[in-house]
Amino acid sequence: MVGCDLHDASMLLKVAVDRQEPEKLYFDNDPEGRRRMIAELKKRKKAAQATQIYFAYEASGLGFTLYDELTEAGIRCFVLAPSRMERSVKQRRNKTDEKDADRILKELRGHLLGGNELPAIWVPDAQTRDDRLVVRARLDVGHKRTGVKTQIRSLLKLHDVPRASRTPGGRTKAYRVWLQDLSDSEKALPWGARVALKTLLAQLAALDQELARLQEAVRQMSEFPRYAEPARALMQLKGVGILMAMVFLTEMGDLSRFPNREAVGAYLGLVPSSDESGEQDDHKGHITGHGSGRVRYMLCQVTWVRKRLEAEVQKRYDRIAARNPKHKKIAVVAMMRQLAVLLWHVGLEAQRRAGVFPARAAAAAA
């Protein structure tokens, strides 16, 4: 069993056989270093007459290259969620690489020898990871575009540009022409403000082009065999467009890994946190916020659209909001959770019809 503290340039390993005292090993985190590490672990496995190598490390921004290489080498690898690993205040203040590797090995041992639950994450396949990059880039550019628009509005407000002179509708060509004219008008704005407005308009134009390019890429990806039928099925729901469908499918991946609707809500962090101790009643707090914030963002956007389009959705929202008029966000979150479950049901059936993720389904059954 191996607990690994992974860094950009190095890996500190704590290696143990069953309940034996662990040994510390160092390797460089580069292709050659990882090859030497795998060879060393296999040599130790043979010497100890062990049946399997189990390896664990914490998820980070380094991605899943190590996971892929270990899996290809026949090593059973677990990627652990740092947010789900319990740490005391003392542990957080007394942190070293060796202690981190020890803690990861302890989690792995507890799972393999004691049957404890392992805080492992689901590792998406390479294709899903690659597809996510396109959809996430589309969302990121959209957020940047919104930020530039906010900066333009703030600049106009700062210089008290009369609202009466604004052309209605920030998306219209007339509004953009008006802003361009404003950036050239010495009477309307001082020199510094005009320079700032010009650069914001240039950024906005560039982001518009990039947004159109990425939106087309998302559309093309929605026609890939693994997404075509599930995406079409999701887009049959009112208010669900191509972006919502593709964000949900790429971020959630294999929908059959969720056993029920409660698991979907918990994975997306749309369930309330709980605080219960001794005789104290169970107190429900804010949502946990676990999982993909991108999916939650899109669920929120689509929820407001569906409220306008479907009377039944509006009625359900009003019924929930009436219970606590001062906290209508509770109703919004409830509607987001209902929408997520609906998308899961529809998407799961479509994935099954299309035969998506058959290898994973077979492995789960085995």
- pLDDT tens digit sequence for 295-339: 999 999 999 999 999 999 999 999 999 988 888 889 999 999 999
Give Cβ neighbours of residue 155 (< 8 Å, ≥ 6 apart): 193, 196, 197, 200
Same domain, 53 and 175: no
In whole numbers, what is the pLDDT of the chain averaged over residues? 90
Identify the band that residue 364 occupies on the pLDDT scale cut at 50, 70 and 90.
very low
Same domain, 82 and 95: yes
- Provide the domain limits for residue 307: 225-358
Alpha-carbon distance values, 204 to 139, 176, 193, 201 (Å): 15, 10, 16, 5
Q: Are 303 and 332 in contact (CB under 8 A)?
A: yes
What does the pLDDT average to over 145-153? 95
User: Would residue 322 count as lying in a domain?
Assistant: yes
Same domain, 174 and 257: no
Number of domains in the chain: 3
What does the pLDDT average to over 23-35? 97
Identify the residue with better confidence: 340 or 275. 340
Which of 50, 85, 114 delimits the end of a domain? 114
Alpha-carbon distance values, 327 to 176, 312, 320, 321 (Å): 38, 21, 10, 7
Same domain, 7 and 106: yes
Same domain, 201 and 254: no
User: Would residue 363 count as lying in a domain?
Assistant: no
Same domain, 88 and 207: no
Same domain, 207 and 290: no
Same domain, 256 and 204: no
Same domain, 180 and 64: no
Q: What percent of the chain has pLDDT over 90?
A: 78
User: Would residue 294 count as lying in a domain?
Assistant: yes
Q: Are 59 and 80 in contact (CB under 8 A)?
A: yes
Q: pLDDT tens digit string along 267-286?
A: 999 988 765 655 555 556 67
Q: Cα–Cα–Cα angle for 272, 273, 275, nearest 5°?
A: 135
User: Would residue 296 count as lying in a domain?
Assistant: yes
Query: 260 - beta bridge partners?
Result: none
Identify the band that residue 164 occupies on the pLDDT scale cut at 50, 70 and 90.
very low
Same domain, 110 and 147: no
AA letter at 149: K
User: Would residue 271 count as lying in a domain?
Assistant: yes
Query: Would the pLDDT of 365 be above 60?
Result: no
Identify the band that residue 174 occupies on the pLDDT scale cut at 50, 70 and 90.
confident
Q: What percent of the chain has pLDDT over 70?
A: 90
The torsion of the CA quartet 274, 277, 279, 280, rounded to 10 degrees, works out to -50
pLDDT number for residue 356:
87
User: Would residue 121 count as lying in a domain?
Assistant: no
User: Would residue 9 count as lying in a domain?
Assistant: yes
Alpha-carbon distance of 79 to 143, in angstroms, equals 30
What CATH code is carried by the domain that includes residue 53? 3.30.420
Same domain, 235 and 327: yes
Identify the residue with better confidence: 326 or 352. 352
Query: Would the pLDDT of 166 be above 60?
Result: no
Which of 187, 221, 255 delimits the end of a domain? 221
Query: Would the pLDDT of 345 be above 60?
Result: yes
pTM of the full structure: 0.88
Which of 178, 196, 221 delimits the end of a domain? 221
Give Cβ neighbours of residue 124 (< 8 Å, ≥ 6 apart): 132, 253
User: Would residue 119 count as lying in a domain?
Assistant: no
Same domain, 89 and 208: no
